Amino acid sequence: MKNYTYDAEKLKDWIKKDGIKKFAVQVPAGLMHHAKAIREEFSAFGDCYIYAEPSFGACDFPQKQQIQYVDGVVNLGHARIPNITSERVLFLELYADISPNTLSFECSPEVLGKHTALFTTVQYLPLLPSIKEKLKDAGINAHIGRPGKRTMYEGQVLGCDVSSPCALAGYVDSYLFVGDGDFHPHGVCMQTSKPVFRYRINERKIERVQFDRERFLKKRYGIAYTIQKVTDVGVVVCVKPGQLRMHTATALCDTLRQHGKKAQIIYANNISPAILDYSGFDLIVSTACPRIALEDYINYKLPMLTPQEALLGLGEKKEYEIDQIL
């Protein structure tokens, strides 16, 4: 598979140990264009089916009953989330095929500060030691935080768990994300007022991640308090194994009822405006992936809150708290 490497031994061991003959490979949405190469390579290891539902992470894999005709599933590209139980699922990380020798960037302690927290997604994890070395040469101490409750490796972040860098808040002047896109660094920006930088490997440069935290919080406070004016609240529970927070949802329903609201649970797999906007609720609280309420809300007609925002709006919490699944 071009541009990526993976641990073929891990795949072979799993096939041997679990007696896998037929397996389905779950290809992440962003790698669908590699689907042909993936299925051609993986067919060498057994009877390989493609599981053609987009996977949004290691939280999102099919359950046994759904794919009863195969012996197991390969969730490709994601690291296992330690606190999620999965049966006959192999999480096979994909690593960017980049030699540490080719890494290049300019930086200085004047910009990044003397101490920075280095973090990334699973595909660039093997590069962190080399990047740390390079930063050291430039006079910057790069710290790599311990894994969070949802992550396997030091410095690794997910959309729902950025605790690895954020736990270093007391020790660092800045945060440095390795990779592209806003999704993961914004998770850190939401939690800190210190500067967050991004090292885009292909661009060979480190740049500041743009995020207006004050505006973000103002908006979220505003949305949180809308709950005071409504009566009919839908509480979303996502059926994806790693997003399912039924206890959070039922406890919240109880609290909502104590506050005189009507509350009802909405079970869903893929949450979409097409479904929720016609549900007839006044407001939605989502216990699914926290980033849906925090970033996709703009696509919904109904106000959508995280569980913490609902409690803030109801006066059950005093301070704003970012939702993470921990």
48 binds a second copy (CB under 8 A): yes
Among 19, 69, 99, 193, binds a second copy (CB under 8 A): 69
- Nearest-angstrom CA–CA distance, 95 and 102: 15
Q: Under DSSP, is residue 54 helix (H, G, I), strand (E, B) or coil?
A: strand
- Nearest-angstrom CA–CA distance, 14 and 91: 10
Q: Which stretch binds a second copy (CB under 8 A): 37-45, 146-154, 302-310, 312-320?
A: 37-45
Q: Among residues 56 and 199, whose Cβ is nearest to a second copy?
A: 56
Among 1, 28, 37, 46, binds a second copy (CB under 8 A): 37
260 binds a second copy (CB under 8 A): no
- Nearest-angstrom CA–CA distance, 22 and 47: 5
Asked if 156 contacts 144 with a C-beta cutoff of 8 angstroms, the reply is no
Among 8, 52, 217, 326, binds a second copy (CB under 8 A): 52
Cα angle, residue 34 at apex, residues 29 and 36 outer, rounded to 5°: 115
- Nearest-angstrom CA–CA distance, 116 and 109: 9
Which stretch of DSSP H or E encloses residue 118? strand 115-120
Q: Among residues 239 and 326, whose Cβ is nearest to a second copy?
A: 239
182 binds a second copy (CB under 8 A): no
35 binds a second copy (CB under 8 A): yes
Closest CA to 273 of 299, 251, 244: 299
45 binds a second copy (CB under 8 A): no
Among 64, 146, 219, 257, binds a second copy (CB under 8 A): 64
Q: Over the Cα atoms of the chain, what is R_g? A: 21
Q: Under DSSP, is residue 216 helix (H, G, I), strand (E, B) or coil?
A: helix
Among 77, 145, 234, 313, binds a second copy (CB under 8 A): 234
36 binds a second copy (CB under 8 A): yes
Residues that bind a second copy (CB under 8 A): 24, 32-33, 35-37, 39, 43, 48-54, 62-67, 69-70, 232, 234, 236-237, 239, 246, 264-271, 274-276, 278-281
